[in-house]
């Protein structure tokens, strides 16, 4: 997968794009499920995370669990 901030082009400055890339990388990665211990938790919405293995929904932080 390419750089997530390429869609912005030269706009907004380098610092903002680097910070955005960090946040999006955290947001789109998989996390460990607290109930089944598998690395299968993905973000569904802001603060809502769901395990793809055991289907458990968890409330957590906005960008990372």
pLDDT tens, 43-54? 999 889 999 999
pLDDT score at 26 = 86
Place of tokens 């960090």: 22
Question: Quick one: pLDDT band at residue 16, thresholds 50, 70, 90?
Answer: very high
pLDDT of 38 strictly over 90:
yes
Residue 34 lies in a domain: yes
Mean pLDDT (the chain) is 88
Whether 35 is in a domain gets the answer yes
Residue 32 domain-assigned (yes or no): yes
Q: Which long-range contacts (CB under 8 A, 24 or more apart) does 51-60 make?
A: 58/33, 58/34
Q: How confident is the model at residue 1 (pLDDT cuts 50, 70, 90)?
A: low
pTM for this entry: 0.73
Count of structural domains within the chain = 1
The beta strands (E) that lie in 1-65 are given as 31-32, 39-45, 48-51, 57-59
In a domain, 47, yes or no: yes
User: What residue numbers bound the domain in which 30 lies?
Assistant: 4-59
Q: How far apart are CA 1 and CA 11, in angstroms?
A: 21
């Amino acid at each position: 997968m390419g750089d997530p901030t390429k869609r912005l082009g030269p706009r907004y400055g380098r610092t903002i794009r680097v910070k955005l890339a960090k946040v999006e990388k955290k947001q789109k990665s998989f996390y460990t499920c607290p109930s089944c211990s598998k690395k299968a938790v993905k973000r569904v919405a802001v603060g809502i995370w769901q395990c793809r293995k055991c289907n458990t929904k968890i409330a957590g932080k906005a960008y990372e669990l």
